[in-house]
Each structure stands twice: as C-alpha cells, then as structure tokens.
C-alpha cells in the first residue's frame, strides 16, 4: 500500500496525520488547559485550525489554554505552516541521507516553474529564512510591547504572535487579537510584514534572494513568470484593499483613531484579509461593504507554496489574463511576453470551479442547519455572517464575525473539512482520492459542440 502512494497522497496524508496527532494531544496531554478539557469535536476543530494555519477558534486561546497549551498549538502551527514534508526533507538532508524518488518528486514540484533553482538549497533556505524572519519579528514585537506588558511577559507574546503571523495562522494570545495595540505602528508593521512575507510563497522569496545576490549575472537576474504574477497580483490586491477599507471604514470601525492610525489599520485590514486572521477591528461591527469585500479577498487567499489558503493569487491572475485574451480575440494566454500553457490555465479554471462549489455546498449546510449560531447582535446579518465564516475557513484565514464558538455540529464538521481542503488544496485532495485512470487505448469520441452563454 505504501509503495502505491504517490507524492500527492503523501502530501495530503502528512497533514491528516498531523491533525490526528494534534487532536490526540489535546485530548490526553496534561497541563494544557486552565479549566475543563476540550471535547473530541472541539479538539479536532482546534487541531485542524492550528495545523491548517487558519485561526478560527471555538474557545479563547488566551484564557482557555495554559502556556503549555499555547506552546502545543504553536508547534502544530509551525509544523502545519511549513509542512511536514519540508521538515522531513530537511532532516534527511541534514543527516546526509538521500531522498527517495517519491520524496524527491514531491520536493521538486515547486521548482518546475523555475528550473534554475536547486531544490535541496530551496528546502534548507525555507527553514532558515523562516526561523530568521520569525526571530526578527519576535524581537520587533518585544520592543513594541515590553514598555506596556513588561520585559518578561512580552517575550512569550512576541514569540507566539511572530510565528503565528509568519505562518498566517491568526492565533493570538490576546483575547481581542490586536485591537488593543492597533495604535502601535511598530507592532502592526511587524505583524503585517510577517504576514505578507509568509503569504508570498517560498519559491518567490528564493528567487528574489537570488536576484539580489547575483544581480550581475544575467542568467539569474530574471524572475520567473510565476514570481512576477505573484508579486504583481499581491501588490495590486493590497493597494485596492487598502483604498477600499479606508473608504468603507474611515468613519465607521476606524472612527476615533488618529488619521495616521486609520490609514495604517486600513492597510493592515487589506493584508490580513487574504491570509492571516489577525484583526484590529471587530468584524462583527463592520459595514456590509467591508464584510463582502473581505469575503472576496479571503476567497483569493495567498500565493502557491506559501502558508496561505484560498484559490491563490496566481489562479486569479491567470483567469483575469484568460478573460483579457478572449476579449482581445487571442487564442492563447500571455503575460510578459510569455505564453502560459493551456493545461495550466485549465487547472486554474478548474480550481476556481471546485473552490466555488465547495464553498456553496458549505454555505448550504450552514443555512440548512442554522439554529442559535448567530449572536443577537448579528441577527439581521445572519446569512452574511455564515458566508463570511465559510470563506474564512476555505481560505484558511481565520477572521470571523463572531459565530465560530456557537456553530452546531454539522457546521463545525463542514468547517473542519473546509480548513483541511483549503490547506492542502482542492486539486491536490482530488488527485489523492481519485481512482486510477484506466488505459483504454489511444482514441477519443467524435466532437460535438455545445452552446455556452
């Protein structure tokens, strides 16, 4: 059975195994809770949210878990953020071993779009860069919070928030997430920077490092089309989101803050909406325009090869380029004087269709099983709150309008499945569970057209 497992099966199984171990740990390990132990479903929900770096919580992380419990969640976040395969590869290479063909195929999948990269160096650099970024983020956060929290107490909060931010997890050791520190530019800037770096994708980060290091080498100076699309789409979404949130919430959720703080928090809302789940405003009180726009950003998510979920920035870019090509009467999809393979474009369209279908099915489950899952303050926006929750789970974002803790059993199970699918990817999961194709010879049926539109 093990020999029949392909790279995709191993990838999906690694996350499933980590979720299982995390659930068992939450159920049996002592000293994790300040009070009553979580039940099975809530433990599974919490472990899935941590491993899939989502951030949706059924209990308050700051008060329900001890420091040991928070540390256990942080381990799950770190392993889930980088992926078990990355750690396994690093260990094998570190002890001088040789990767199996299956493991090598899985490790080199990301370098197919940038063949000049060395996957062994890429794997090492992923872990080294992660540790360096998280350490720098922790130091900056300590400087930001030490005057208010005290030098000793600020250390743990800084380390936890730094790792959670880089892994785009959204878990926080503060009950109100970052609302209490939203007028601290160093803290908001550090966490926002970690979220962006973690959501860009390790392949793009590696390419940027190579371009900077070997600026004089013409062969290594050019970014791949993948990285160009990632950077362009990410930048565009951040700018559009920044302007939109400032317009929607300037005199609403951001009212009462100084002008510079309003602008800074509007940018942070744009950063966190696609990937992270940290919040500096109460999303239960935002305008409907903001809630709907956040849903759109959460559905897009981060970039491939990152710690984020969603359909990914490159999927959005390819679909937009496909539409632009068709409007101009062109047969192929182009970008920066390069033609994108039809198979890749079709995969992007398929990912959008599968993601939309899964989200729609989950929304139906939420509405069909609706009971007391919406707090009284959101009674007039119950459907919007449920859609918000579903897309947040699929995009592994972690933002909520305040209904996570009151979800029914069916809605919690749906959310668990959505977080898992959003982390491993709908197409990867489909490939892992699909039946093998039968070889029926090299033939096809006759063509017959269908009217579309």
Contact 187, 145 (CB under 8 A): yes
Q: What is the pLDDT of residue 446?
A: 82
DSSP assignment letter at 195: H
pTM over 0.85: yes
Residues 6+ apart with CB under 8 A from 10: 85, 102, 103, 106
- Taking alpha carbons only, the member of 21, 122, 134 closest to residue 72 is 21
DSSP 319-338: HHHHHHHHHTT-SSEEETTE
**Residue 371 tokens, joined:** 């009971």
The strand pairing partners of 338, in sequence order, are 335
How confident is the prediction along the chain (453 residues), in pLDDT tens digits per residue? 556 666 677 778 888 999 999 999 999 999 999 989 999 999 999 999 999 999 999 999 999 999 999 999 999 999 988 875 565 555 444 544 444 444 444 444 544 555 555 556 667 778 888 899 999 999 999 999 999 999 999 999 999 999 999 999 999 999 999 999 999 999 999 999 999 998 888 888 888 887 777 666 655 567 889 889 999 999 999 999 999 999 999 999 999 899 999 999 999 999 999 888 899 999 989 999 999 999 999 999 988 878 788 899 999 999 999 999 988 888 889 888 899 998 889 989 988 999 999 999 999 999 888 765 677 677 678 899 999 999 999 999 999 998 898 888 999 999 999 999 988 887 777 666 655 555 555 677 887 878 776
The strand pairing partners of 208, in sequence order, are none
Helices 185-200 and 202-213 sit at what angle, rounded to 10 degrees?
A: 100
Rounded distance between C-alpha atoms, residue 363 and residue 383, angstroms: 9
Q: Where are the domains of the chain?
A: 7-430
Rounded distance between C-alpha atoms, residue 305 and residue 352, angstroms: 18
Dihedral in degrees, nearest 10, Cα atoms 30, 36, 40, 43? -70
Rounded distance between C-alpha atoms, residue 154 and residue 158, angstroms: 6
């Amino acid at each position: 059975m093990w020999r029949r497992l392909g790279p995709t099966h191993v990838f999906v199984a690694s996350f499933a195994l980590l979720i299982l171990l995390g659930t068992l740990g939450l159920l049996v390990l002592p000293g994790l809770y300040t009070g009553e132990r979580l039940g099975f479903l809530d433990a599974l929900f919490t472990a899935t949210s941590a491993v899939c770096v989502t951030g949706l919580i059924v209990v308050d992380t700051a008060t329900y878990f001890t420091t040991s419990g928070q540390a256990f969640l942080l381990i799950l976040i770190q392993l889930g953020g980088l992926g078990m395969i990355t750690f396994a590869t690093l260990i094998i290479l570190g002890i001088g071993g040789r990767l199996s063909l299956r493991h090598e195929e899985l490790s080199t999948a990301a370098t197919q779009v940038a063949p000049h990269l060395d996957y062994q160096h890429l794997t090492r650099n992923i872990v080294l860069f992660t540790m360096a970024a998280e350490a720098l983020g922790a130091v900056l956060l300590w400087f930001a919070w030490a005057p208010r929290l005290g030098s000793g107490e600020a250390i743990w909060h800084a380390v936890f928030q730094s790792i959670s931010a880089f892994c785009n997890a959204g878990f926080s050791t503060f009950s109100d997430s970052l609302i209490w520190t939203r007028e601290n530019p160093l803290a908001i800037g550090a966490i926002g920077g970690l979220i962006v770096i973690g959501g860009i994708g390790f392949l793009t980060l590696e390419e940027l490092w190579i371009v900077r290091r070997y600026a004089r080498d013409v062969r290594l100076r050019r970014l791949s089309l993948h990285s160009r699309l990632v950077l362009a789409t990410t930048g565009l979404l951040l700018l559009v989101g920044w302007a939109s949130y400032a317009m929607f919430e300037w005199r609403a959720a951001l009212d009462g803050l100084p002008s510079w703080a309003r602008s800074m928090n509007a940018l942070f809302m744009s950063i966190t909406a696609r990937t992270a789940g940290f919040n500096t405003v109460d999303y239960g009180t935002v305008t409907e325009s903001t809630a709907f726009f956040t849903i759109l950003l959460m559905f897009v998510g981060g970039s491939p090869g990152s710690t984020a979920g969603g359909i990914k920035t490159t999927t959005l870019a390819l679909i937009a380029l496909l539409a632009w090509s068709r409007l101009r009467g062109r047969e192929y999809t182009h970008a920066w004087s390069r033609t994108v393979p039809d198979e890749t474009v079709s995969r992007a369209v398929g990912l959008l269709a599968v993601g939309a279908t899964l989200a729609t099915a989950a929304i139906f489950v939420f509405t069909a099983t609706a009971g007391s899952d919406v707090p009284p303050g959101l009674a007039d926006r119950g459907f919007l709150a449920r859609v918000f929750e579903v897309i947040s789970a699929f995009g592994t974002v972690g933002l909520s309008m305040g209904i996570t803790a009151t979800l029914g059993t069916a809605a919690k199970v749906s959310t668990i499945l959505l977080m898992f699918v959003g982390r491993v990817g709908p197409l990867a999961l489909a490939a892992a569970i699909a039946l093998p194709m039968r070889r029926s010879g090299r033939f096809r049926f006759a063509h017959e057209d269908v009217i579309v539109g």
